[in-house]
Structure 1
């Protein structure tokens, strides 16, 4: 989806992940979790950190739902992996405390931005396994979406639709 916004009289264009691609992403992540014996929850948000797709396998911890969404929102909001964000701020007590005070901020691995044409169009968050397992599942979701976007980039990376409110 392409979103156009006006700011100080200037129009900007921003791509967002399409709902079909978001569903492919969460399904691949949850399926991989089951394949490795880890029930997980996976959430995909658009570039504005709004929930676009969610899937939780049976047996995943109930709190994994909120954590997966938080990881996706954090990765989209900061435009980098959640584990990398922690790595950047861990030695700066003031910044670390500030981030920890943000409602829903996730400062551990499992949140990964989704990029298309060098632009962050969304992010996936996975929760339910170890940090390494969550990252692995998120990356499998990214690989699935990259394969989809490579084959149908005009349809899934650039769908035109109404702007997000």
Structure 2
């Protein structure tokens, strides 16, 4: 039988707090979501000043990454390149970048989505938090 790794609430809070600190340090107002490997919400934070729309978008970006096991930017690139004719999201503004899968020892354990600044900055925030999280695991 295999060992299955998963995110705990403490892990999700570490990711949220790390992303939040990075956003504050850079003057960003964003919403941040952390999901499990199935795309179900574990924890979320909407910073003061972040648009209400970003709350749904960050979750959708995280879900996209969890279900696909890939950064959400992949789908943005496919759509822009005309290779993907449809996409189902409750709210889609054409910018999907900002969802990042969380992989530990080759296993998908969850995903993180950020929304509120330029899409590459959303991804930067998530990537930073995930890198710090994985580094502290050893």
Per the normalisation by structure 2, the TM-score is 0.87
Structure 2: how far apart are the matches of 1:123 and 1:50?
Answer: 9
> 1:62 and 2:52 equivalent?
yes
Which sections of structure 1, spanning at least 5 residues, go unmatched? 1-10, 151-165
1:15-60 CA distances to partner (integer Å, 9 max, x unpaired)? 3211111111111112111111111111000001110111121111
Q: When you count strand as a share of all residues, which structure comes out higher?
A: 1
Query: Which residue of 111, 119, 131 corresponds with 1:143?
Result: 131
Q: Is the 8 A contact 2:35 2:62 kept in 1?
A: yes
CA distance in 2, matches of 1:92, 1:12: 40
- 1:96 is aligned to 2:89: no
Structure 2, unmatched stretches of 5+, are none
Q: In the alignment, is the contact (CA less than 8 A) between 1:81 and 1:112 conserved in 2?
A: yes
Higher gyration radius (CA): 1
Cα RMSD of the aligned pairs, angstroms, is 2.2
The number of aligned residues is 137
2:28 is equivalent to residue 50 of structure 1: no
TM-score (norm 1): 0.74
